[in-house]
């Protein structure tokens, strides 16, 4: 069908009023019908994410039914036991998140598949934990993470509580492709499903079980802390477990940004609810200055990412994801070493676009580091492999985009875990008059000043996606031999699974194939080009290091200019 035919087919349907009005409003807007119908929202290894609205390329109850139908058929293909174990469902505070979770349960129930649904919003890591706790066969989280209010999404989890890796995600996609009519997908009524025992509202016993696991992270069970800190959930789902967790961890001076503690899918005080961005901390900074807080913590709407800002004596300084990851590695390993619980086969896992800073710190403690492709599902996959083989003991996993996991009772990045541990870390250093910034400087002096940057170019819509493909093809057709005046000594192309050295020799790459290219330069600088898996962007990651701070900062500035000259 053409985009116009698809549009007209949707117009004929008895749509909910908000979708019918949406379609009527775009009738005469040039190019808008094409944008809404030129493709179906893709379901990839990160799930499905898109702008809310009517159309096959938008998030709405019909595209939710589509992915839920694919999930249902995937479960059925794995036998009756999978159907009985069912699916755990959670959602954040975004518009239609609750409705989409219920709609998913209606589709699953129509196939005789059990659903377990939270009555209120809960964090993504708690959904991961819940899948494992209930021994469910799968899980689904309705969230668009840190995207603006116009977005929502659908992430699918396997029975281990981890996001699906490509092999299993592709099976769901194959089942979705067999669905020819979104409006013919069968749904059941929730009241009927409850009566049949196929739909269960989750009680607060799961909250208590999750909190019990969180409290095992406390280094000294009897400790209490009077350090002043501020926490904001940015209108999201983190407020319940983070606030209660901090209290049970022994923090008595916690101030909550009250206007941002209200769940609100409009994110009225934080239009871009991303703790990677300094603007997201504006309200927390106001409150921090008022109460004299040493530390500010912010979680994104589904509480899988944590941002941290530290008082430096005159203002609040936002830590990068790489900096916080390095600090956590140092603190976690040093604590285990002091308690004589550091295992001989310990391992840290990070992604290929994450700084080498943390790897150097881990090596100092005789702990190995393993790299994965971008996406926490790959870190979770490594955890499962370590458990099965007993080859390593997992100690920490992280990625530069503010995602961390300490204890694998959850199998996705967990900002709740890390918020509690960062608070403990900061309070521990405060006892001898140091801040996180002081400890970071000590680590820089010991291991070198690592500086990183992320540049990105946006490619919106159909034309944008085609331009991004051309950009990546152009990089492969004309591989750079230098950036600025620094030679490229190694090019890693993960799409073909090969590394090419400057002398032309090749080596096989062991990680799965993905559309990513990484350049290693003669001075230790690295540059990675990667299309985003969740946003219409191509991302350019840069990492440099030097023994002198000023030199490292200047080197990063020059490399950013070189990357923009080459790819901008």
Domain with CATH 3.40.120.10 in the chain: 39-203, 210-318, 321-419+431-447
Fold assignment, 39-203 = Alpha-D-Glucose-1,6-Bisphosphate; Chain A, domain 3 (3.40.120)
10 Å CB burial of residue 503 (0-12, 13-18, 19+) is: exposed
Local confidence band at 42 (pLDDT 50, 70, 90 cut-offs): confident
Q: What is the pLDDT of residues 355-371, one digit of tens each?
A: 999 999 999 999 999 99
Full-model pTM:
0.95
Angle at 306 between CA 300 and CA 309, to 5 degrees: 110
Cβ-based neighbours of 314, under 8 Å, separated by 6 or more? none
Active site residues: 145
Question: Taking a C-beta distance cutoff of 8 angstroms, is the pair 414, 299 a contact?
Answer: no
Q: Give the CATH number of domain 210-318.
A: 3.40.120.10
Q: What is the pLDDT of residues 294-312, one digit of tens each?
A: 999 999 999 999 999 999 9
Return contacts of 358-366, CB within 8 angstroms, 24+ apart. 358/322, 358/325, 358/326, 358/329, 358/398, 360/447, 360/448, 361/326, 361/329, 361/330, 361/333, 361/443, 361/447, 362/329, 362/333, 364/446, 364/447, 365/333, 365/334, 365/337
Domain with CATH 3.30.310.50 in the chain: 449-567
Q: How does the average pLDDT of the chain come out, rounded? A: 96
Q: What is the pLDDT of residues 467-524, one digit of tens each?
A: 888 888 888 999 999 999 999 999 999 999 999 999 999 999 999 999 999 999 999 9
CATH of 449-567, one of 3.40.50.300, 3.30.310.50, 3.40.50.2000, 3.30.160.100: 3.30.310.50
Mean predicted confidence (pLDDT) in 225-252 = 97
Q: What is the pLDDT of residues 508-546, one digit of tens each?
A: 999 999 999 999 999 999 999 998 766 678 999 999 999
Local confidence band at 79 (pLDDT 50, 70, 90 cut-offs): very high
Task: Say yes or no: domain 321-419+431-447 is CATH 3.40.120.10.
Answer: yes
Mean predicted confidence (pLDDT) in 8-32 = 95
10 Å CB burial of residue 14 (0-12, 13-18, 19+) is: exposed
Cα separation, 553 vs 435, whole angstroms: 22
Locate 150 and state its tokens.
């116009």
DSSP structural state of residue 278? G
Cα separation, 540 vs 517, whole angstroms: 10
Cβ-based neighbours of 550, under 8 Å, separated by 6 or more? none
Strand partners, 117: 89, 201
Q: Residue 399: what are its φ and ψ, rounded to 5°?
A: -135, 155
């Amino acid at each position: 069908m053409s985009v116009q035919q698809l549009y007209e087919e949707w117009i004929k349907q008895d749509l909910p009023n908000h979708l019918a009005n949406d379609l009527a409003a775009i009738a005469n807007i040039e190019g808008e019908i094409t944008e809404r119908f030129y493709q179906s929202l893709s379901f990839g290894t990160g799930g499905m994410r898109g702008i809310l609205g009517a159309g096959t390329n938008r998030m709405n109850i019909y595209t939710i039914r589509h992915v839920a139908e694919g999930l249902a058929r995937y479960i059925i293909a794995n036998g009756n036991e999978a159907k009985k174990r069912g699916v755990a469902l959670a959602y954040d505070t975004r518009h239609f998140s609750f409705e989409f979770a219920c709609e998913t349960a209606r589709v699953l129930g129509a196939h005789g598949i059990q659903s377990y649904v939270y009555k209120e919003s809960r964090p993504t890591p708690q959904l991961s934990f819940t899948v494992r706790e209930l021994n469910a066969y799968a899980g689904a989280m309705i969230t668009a993470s840190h995207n603006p209010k116009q977005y929502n999404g659908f992430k699918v989890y396997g029975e281990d509580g981890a996001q699906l890796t490509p092999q299993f995600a592709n099976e769901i996609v194959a089942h979705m492709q067999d669905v020819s009519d979104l409006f013919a997908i069968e749904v059941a009524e929730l009241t009927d499903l409850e009566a049949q025992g196929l739909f269960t509202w989750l009680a607060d016993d799961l909250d208590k079980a999750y909190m019990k696991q969180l409290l095992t992270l406390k280094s000294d069970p009897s400790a209490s802390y009077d350090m002043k800190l501020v926490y904001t959930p940015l209108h999201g789902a983190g407020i319940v477990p983070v606030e209660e967790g901090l209290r049970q961890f022994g923090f008595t001076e916690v101030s909550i940004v009250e206007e941002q503690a209200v769940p609100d899918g409009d994110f009225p005080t934080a239009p871009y609810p991303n703790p990677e961005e300094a603007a997201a901390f504006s309200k927390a900074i106001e409150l921090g200055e008022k109460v004299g807080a040493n530390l500010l913590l912010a979680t994104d709407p589904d509480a899988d990412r944590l941002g941290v800002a530290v008082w430096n004596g005159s203002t609040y300084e936002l830590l990068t994801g790489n900096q916080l990851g390095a600090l956590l590695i140092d603190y976690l390993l040093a604590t285990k070493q002091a308690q004589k619980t550091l295992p001989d086969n310990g391992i840290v896992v990070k992604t290929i676009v994450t700084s080498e800073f943390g790897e150097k710190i881990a090596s100092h403690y005789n702990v190995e580091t393993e790299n994965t492709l971008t996406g926490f599902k790959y870190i979770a996959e490594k955890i499962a492999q370590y458990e099965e083989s007993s080859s390593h003991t997992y100690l920490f996993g992280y990625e530069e985009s503010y995602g961390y996991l300490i204890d694998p009772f959850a199998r996705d990045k967990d900002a709740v875990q890390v918020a509690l541990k960062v608070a403990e870390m900061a309070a521990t250093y405060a006892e001898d008059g140091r801040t996180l910034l002081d400890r970071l400087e000590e680590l820089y002096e010991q291991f070198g000043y690592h500086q990183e940057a992320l540049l990105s170019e946006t490619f919106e819509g159909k034309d944008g996606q085609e331009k991004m493909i051309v950009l990546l093809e152009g990089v492969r057709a004309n591989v750079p031999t230098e950036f600025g005046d620094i030679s490229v000594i190694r090019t890693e192309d993960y799409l073909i699974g090969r590394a090419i050295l400057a002398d032309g020799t090749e080596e096989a790459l062991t990680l799965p194939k993905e559309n990513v290219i990484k350049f290693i330069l003669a001075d230790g600088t690295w540059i990675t080009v990667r299309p985003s898996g969740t946003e219409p962007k191509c991302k350019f990651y840069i990492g440099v290091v030097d023994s002198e701070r000023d030199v490292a900062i200047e080197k990063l500035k020059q490399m950013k200019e070189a990357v923009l000259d080459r790819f901008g």
